[in-house]
């Protein structure tokens, strides 16, 4: 790996914080959302928004099991009829949302994604209906845009994959986490390597252009040797993408019951395993896109962000999906606990179409939050932030808006020695500490709202 000189001033830098503070996959986080007392109409929220390059996200909140580390909005299994009732509600919501977008200007979707939960929890026939909702109710041309779908080994069956491939899926992400059966059990993820390998064979047979494999490091009992064995098992399938996730133990999850507070030794182990994994993938023909994402150098181009669910102009359908306009991020109620999630899903499936014409939970995004979000989204990518684009959008520079934060990052050696007038980019160590750097850019108001959130 090429050494990058940092912007660190002379002298010894203070010790950085724990590298594992918060995974910033969305900002503001849903724990900063609150009930919107005015329940604004979607038609008014979207009236002035550009609609020529929207992103579409459909959320399926069902899994066959709940992994011990999972804090996603998902429930285990579904009683008879629930998935059908959920798709009925999704169709009602799609109709209401599409009406709210109006007919005054063309509505075009540039990307689409099915997430969860596990979208492939649905049967092949139900997946067909899901695609029909996206295409016929929302107007997305799934065969003409990047379409990403999440799956688990147990549900990546040939008939489901046939539907997804036929409807234009360009990227399938498989949650493997570990090829070691003992490690999988330690993460409370009951699966066998033989079943994982069989699922990967079926995915390759389906000829989806991009295969992504998710792996986790920091599992109890994991060693550098076992981590490398999992990486090599994944590399044997030559996936176009690999995501390497540090294990987090969060409240209200299966593993969360074992949490004992800060653990510097575990932090050091995860950081060591991250570096081992990063270097191994770089040596095997992958380029680093972010702390978590690695793409095979010769992978086929996918056009605009393959899975750009963080951009303004995001339409989310389903009870766990977010939607983003320039001024408001909104969703339904959020929970992690099993009983609370069930109650939210049960409420969602009974709602009439008129309910879906309003936003209920969310957070307003003012000019300061928009700047923070743009900086976060860009700086946490390996390519970094083009300051000219930032100035064009906001009329200022990042150094003018965030002088203390950027100086602190430079002092820690997290910013590369680029000309800050043209670009800001993280050093390799800055990328390694993305989960510490990102939260330091949260606004005081968002931080306070997240702290005050009552977990459920």
Q: Which of 261, 296, 331 is the last residue of a domain?
A: 296
CATH number at residue 151: 3.80.30.20
358 falls within a domain = no
Question: Do 208 and 113 reside in the same domain of the chain?
Answer: yes
Regions in the chain scoring below 50 on pLDDT: 1-11, 253, 305-309
CA 411/CA 386 separation, integer angstroms? 21
Whether 268 and 378 map to the same domain: the answer is no
Is 313 domain-assigned?
Answer: no
pLDDT in the model for residue 336: 77
Report the C-alpha gap between 367 and 410 in whole angstroms: 25
User: For residue 417, what are the CA distances in angstroms to 233, 409, 433?
Assistant: 36, 12, 17
Residue 230: left if φ>0, alpha if ψ -120 to 50, beta else—which one? alpha
- Asked if residue 291 and residue 397 are part of one domain, the reply reads no
CA 6 vs. chain centroid, Å, equals 29
> Cis peptide leading into 215, omega within 30 of 0?
no
Q: Is the dihedral of CA 390, 391, 392, 394 positive or negative?
A: positive
Q: For residue 64, what pLDDT is reported?
A: 76
**Residue 423 falls within a domain, yes or no?**
yes
Looking at the structure, do residues 381 and 269 belong to the same domain, yes or no? no
Contact (CB, 8 A) for 178 and 223? no
Q: Which residues pair with 57 in a beta bridge?
A: 113, 316
The owner of tokens 């209401």 is 96
User: Is residue 189 within 8 Å of residue 152, measured between CB atoms?
Assistant: no
Query: Within this chain, do residues 377 and 273 fall inside the same structural domain, yes or no?
Result: no
Q: Give the integer Cα–Cα distance in Å for 110 and 146.
A: 7
Looking at 133-263, list the stretches that DSSP marks H as alpha helix, in order from N- to C-terminal side.
158-166, 181-186, 193-206, 224-235
Cβ–Cβ under 8 Å, residues 250 and 435: no
Same domain, 104 and 251: yes
Domain boundary, last residue among 296, 315, 335: 296
343 falls within a domain = no
Distance CA 345, CA 73 (A): 10
Residue 360 belongs to some domain of the structure: no
Residue 439 has which token pair? 């939260």
Asked if residue 264 belongs to a domain, the reply is yes
Q: Which of 269, 296, 323 is the last residue of a domain?
A: 296
Question: How many C-beta atoms surround the C-beta of residue 207 within 10 A?
Answer: 8
User: Domain of 47?
Assistant: 33-296
Q: What digits encode the pLDDT tens for the residues 42-59?
A: 999 999 999 999 999 999
The answer on 181 and 98 residing in a single domain is: yes
Same structural domain, 279 and 382:
no
Residue 394 belongs to some domain of the structure: yes
DSSP string of 234-263, one letter each residue = HHTT--SEEEEEE----TTSTGGGG--S--
pLDDT of residue 421: 75
The model's pLDDT over 126-172, given as tens digits with 9 standing for 90+, comes to 999 999 999 999 999 999 999 999 999 999 999 999 999 999 999 99
Q: Are residues 276 and 393 in the same domain?
A: no
Q: Phi and psi (nearest 5°) for 219?
A: -70, 145
Q: Which two tokens stand for residue 365?
A: 């995004």
Domain total of the chain? 2
Are 274 and 391 in a shared domain?
A: no
Identify whether residues 390 and 279 lie together within a single domain. Answer: no
């Amino acid at each position: 790996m090429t050494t990058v000189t940092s912007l660190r001033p002379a002298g010894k830098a203070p010790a950085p914080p724990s590298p594992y503070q918060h995974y910033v996959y969305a900002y503001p986080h849903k724990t900063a959302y609150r009930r919107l007392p005015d329940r604004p109409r979607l038609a008014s929220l979207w009236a002035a928004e550009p609609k020529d390059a929207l992103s579409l996200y459909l959320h399926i909140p069902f899994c066959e099991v709940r992994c011990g580390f999972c804090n996603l909005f998902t429930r285990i299994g579904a009683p008879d009829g629930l998935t059908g009732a959920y798709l009925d509600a999704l169709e009602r919501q799609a109709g209401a949302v599409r009406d709210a977008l109006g007919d005054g200007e063309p509505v075009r979707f540039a990307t689409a994604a099915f997430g969860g939960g596990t979208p492939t929890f649905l049967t092949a026939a139900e997946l067909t209906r899901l695609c029909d909702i996206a295409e016929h109710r929302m107007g997305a041309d799934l065969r003409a845009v990047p379409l990403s779908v999440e799956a688990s080994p147990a549900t990546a069956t040939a008939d489901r994959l046939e539907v997804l491939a036929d409807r234009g899926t360009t990227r399938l992400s498989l949650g493997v986490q570990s090829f070691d059966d003992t490690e999988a059990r330690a993460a409370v993820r009951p699966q066998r390597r033989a079943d994982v390998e069989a699922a990967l064979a079926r995915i390759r047979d389906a000829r989806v252009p991009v295969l992504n494999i998710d792996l986790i490091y920091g599992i109890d009992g994991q060693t550098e040797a076992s981590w490398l064995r999992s990486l090599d098992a994944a590399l044997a399938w030559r996936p176009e993408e690999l995501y390497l996730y540090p294990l987090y133990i969060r409240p209200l999850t299966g593993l969360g019951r074992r949490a004992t507070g800060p653990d510097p030794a575990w932090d050091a182990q995860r950081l060591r395993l991250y570096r081992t994994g990063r270097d191994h993938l770089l040596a095997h023909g992958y380029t680093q896109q972010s702390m978590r994402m690695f793409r095979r150098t010769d992978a086929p181009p996918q056009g605009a962000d393959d899975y750009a669910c963080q951009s303004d102009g995001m339409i989310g359908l389903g009870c766990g999906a977010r939607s983003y306009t320039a001024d408001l991020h909104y969703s339904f109620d959020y929970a992690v606990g099993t009983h609370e999630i069930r109650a939210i899903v049960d409420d969602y499936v009974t709602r009439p179409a008129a309910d879906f014409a309003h936003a209920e939970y969310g957070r307003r995004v003012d000019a300061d939050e928009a700047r923070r979000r743009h900086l976060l989204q860009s700086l946490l990518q390996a390519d970094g932030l083009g300051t000219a684009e930032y100035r064009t959008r906001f009329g200022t520079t990042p150094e003018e808006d965030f002088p203390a934060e950027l100086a602190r990052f430079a002092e820690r050696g997290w910013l590369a020695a680029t000309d800050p007038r043209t670009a800001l980019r993280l050093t390799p160590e800055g990328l390694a500490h993305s989960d510490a750097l990102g939260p330091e850019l949260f606004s005081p108001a968002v931080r306070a709202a997240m702290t005050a959130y009552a977990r459920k």
